[in-house]
Amino acid sequence: MSRDILDYLEINKLTTHHIHYFESVEKIPQQCDAVIFVKALPTLQQLRRLRSQRLFYIPVDQISHLGKIPLINIKLQQFEGILFHSDILAKHLYCPSYQFNIDHYTKYQVTRSDSEISDDAPVAWIGVYEYLPCTFKFLHGNNEDILKNIKLLSNINMLTSRRIRKLAHEFSRLGIPFNFSRCDEYVTINGIRIDQWSESSQSQLIACCRYVLDIKDDSFRQQTKPPTKCQIYVSSGIPVAVNTTHPAIEYLSKFNINLLTVEDVKKLSLSQLKQYGDQLKQQATDKFDITSVSKQYLHVLDVLQQPRPKTVTTVSSWDYIQYFWLWLKSSLSKLSH
């Protein structure tokens, strides 16, 4: 996503900076305006090599639990800026001199004709397999009626034997059964079919579904994930139903986009669902397209015209000792569980 935006800025000559991509820290030249790390942070040793550089970080899908935060915060002391996709995550990380709130843009917009949606149209669920346990938990509660007519798409091609065992453990932890079977083209869990996700299968399902279901539990990982799919749905005018603890409710409300909960959406007729989808699309107009989101990145590049803040510090030998101690403490904590 970030690469798409940066390429867009350069191709459309919205920035005078020349943007280059490197596969390793060792290949980064000493003379450059800034270095932006996406997802993985460099090691402490690599940071010492980069002590003269202006460093920025985009944390995406790297911080699964709070135990990782102290280690990351040590490294962030050498960074000048951080680009957040999540307000909740921003509250936990060490904040350098500059903090930027940036969104994912709607790369996969979808379309559909509401006149072709029938009363018996299925509910759609689209997500990575890690979200299946909390979704099944939600549906096994007071929403088993949805299970009778739901179609699910996921990255089932990633379900190795180890990951299936991990899913079974998570289902067990949540107190719900886990009866798994695999066919050539799909898998089933507790008798519910799950098909392989693809851009085309997603478009086909959304084109005929009643509404899209999106569930997030209250875990740190899920609460700090950016609401990318919800942004796609609202920008496309697709009715979406979420649970009451879904982080997208609060996040999108900042843009005056009002999501409805599953209980509210279940009461809507087809005509009311169409009105809800139209309302979402109107509220989200142009907010998450590549043109709008690229402007958020331009704010980051503008900072490079300013002198480097004096608050940025270089990783020291004491930081190495502190980092090792926190790493050891975190490792022992995992073993005890």
**Predicted pLDDT at 50:** 87
**Mean pLDDT for each 10-residue chunk of the chain (337 residues)?**
83 87 87 87 86 88 78 86 85 84 82 79 96 95 88 97 96 96 95 95 92 94 88 93 95 94 95 95 91 88 79 62 63 55
**Predicted pLDDT at 39:** 85
Domain covering 114-283, topology:
Rossmann fold (3.40.50)
- Residue 297 structure tokens: 């990145």
**Predicted pLDDT at 190:** 96
**Predicted pLDDT at 214:** 97
Is residue 221 within 8 Å of residue 247, measured between CB atoms? no
Q: How open is the CA angle 294-297-301, to the nearest 5 degrees?
A: 130
Domains in the chain: boundaries: 2-105+290-336, 114-283
**Predicted pLDDT at 163:** 97
**Predicted pLDDT at 128:** 95
* Most distant pair of Cα atoms in the chain: their distance: 66
Question: What per-residue string of b and e applies to 237-270 under the rule 16 or more CB within 10 Å gives b?
Answer: bbbbbbbebbbbbebbeeeebebbebeebeebeb
**Predicted pLDDT at 188:** 97
Is residue 254 within 8 Å of residue 236, measured between CB atoms? no
Is residue 180 within 8 Å of residue 187, measured between CB atoms? yes
**Predicted pLDDT at 193:** 97
pTM, two decimal places: 0.84
**Predicted pLDDT at 189:** 97
Query: Helices in the chain by DSSP H: which ranges?
Result: 2-11, 44-49, 69-76, 87-90, 132-139, 144-147, 161-173, 199-208, 220-223, 228-236, 247-253, 262-266, 270-283, 290-303, 317-336
Can you state the angle between helices 228-236 and 270-283, rounded to 10 degrees? 110
**Predicted pLDDT at 326:** 63
